[in-house]
Chain A
Amino acid sequence: MDWGKIEILLEKYENAETTLAEEQLLKSVFEKDDIPIHLQSYKMLFKTYSASKVESFKPELKVNKTTFNWRYLSIAASILILFSVSIGYQQYEKKQKAKAAFAETKKALDLLSQNMNKGNLAFVQLKEYQYTTDKIFNSPK
């Protein structure tokens, strides 16, 4: 290993004149174990930088709070609609039955009143008869 070259590179590095490729070269050079004693501290330095790069964000990212709420809300809403439709249909059925019963009763009552009127007619004739007899028998008075 040409340490003279490395030292020149290190100086460039400290002046922020190295390219990314040169910096990567430095990092890989200092991965090795046989490093001159006066350059040992660079090993620590580059080791830290490489070690720092592997740290990762552990928890799961939560970005979808709002969309999840919407989804649950829509499920709840559809269940609600289903319930109200079925209840409403039951109510409608009940009402229809009541209507039918009402119509039936009305028919029966109509029949009754028709027959009643027939009876009434007879009464009217009877009344007329009574009136005439009264006229005849009571007129000389």
Chain B
Amino acid sequence: MTQKEFLLNVLPFKDKVYRLAKRLLISTDEAEDATQELFMKLWNKKEEISSLRSIEAYAMTMTKNYCLDRLKSKQASNLTLVHSNYVSNDISLDKKIEIENSIQIVKKLMNQLPEQQRIIIQLRDVEEYDYDEICAIVEMNQTAVRVALSRARKTIREQLLKTHAYGLG
């Protein structure tokens, strides 16, 4: 595979890789580094991956495993995670702040989920993958994926209702 072919195959899902990395690692810098690193790895494996049925699913699995490894080593070295700000398009300032706040709240709730659920909710609700693809990426069967997803959705919903009742009204 030449560099051109590689980029053609790989560029369409670079944002998905980045977003999954960010969902797991939370910090923007970390996620960017991870994405860079992952694509270097993919480039080095370019001969192997050219025969794969879905390079994207393979890349997403790699992302998942890589980020989980990073999280493990981070827990050991006890580093803190940093939130970064979300940039939205132009709406009036009040509304913008309100929306941004609520988005931050939901994001925070997502990030409080266990890692496995976080991955699945990212893949399903944000990236809109179908169940077969998700199963391939997380290496689980469909029932397990659905159970985890349902749990994640319910948790977020409950937490959201709580914050709504206390804070925003």
Contacts and interface: CB of A to CB of B under 8 A. Distances in A.
* A associates with B: yes
In the complex, the 10 A-B pairs of residues with the closest C-beta atoms, listed nearest first = A48-B106, A57-B18, A16-B150, A63-B43, A44-B102, A16-B149, A16-B146, A56-B15, A52-B126, A41-B160
Interface in A33-81: 40-41, 44-45, 47-49, 51-53, 55-59, 61-65, 67
B125 A23 contact: yes
A55 B103 contact: no
Contacts of A14: 150, 153-154, 157
Interface string A1-42: 000000000000111110010011000000000000000110
Q: Which secondary structure characterizes the binding site on chain B?
A: helix
Chain A contact-residue range equals: 20 to 34
A56 B15 CA distance: 5
A65 B40 CA distance: 9
Contact of A16 (B22, B153, B160): B153
Interface of A: 13-17, 20, 23-24, 40-41, 44-45, 47-49, 51-53, 55-59, 61-65, 67
B164 A45 contact: no
Contact of B106 (A40, A44, A65): A44
B7 A63 contact: yes
Interface stretch (B31-39, B47-55, B64-72): B31-39
A122 B146 CA distance: 125
11 contacts: A17-B146, A20-B130, A44-B106, A52-B122, A52-B126, A55-B19, A57-B32, A59-B32, A59-B36, A61-B10, A63-B6
B73 to A, nearest CB: 23
Contacts of B145: 16
Nearest to B89: A54
A48 B146 CA distance: 21
B130 to A, nearest CB: 6
B161 interface: yes
B19 A52 contact: yes
Contacts of A49: 125-126
B46 to A, nearest CB: 9
B3 A64 contact: yes
Contact of A55 (B15, B43, B156): B15
Interface of B: 3, 6-7, 10-11, 14-15, 17-19, 22, 32, 35-36, 39-40, 42-43, 86, 88, 99, 102-103, 105-107, 110, 122, 124-128, 130, 145-147, 149-150, 153-154, 156-157, 160-161, 164
A41 B161 contact: yes
Contacts of B19: 52-53, 55
Nearest to B104: A48
B35 A57 contact: yes
Given A47-B103, A48-B107, A57-B14, A63 B39 contact: yes
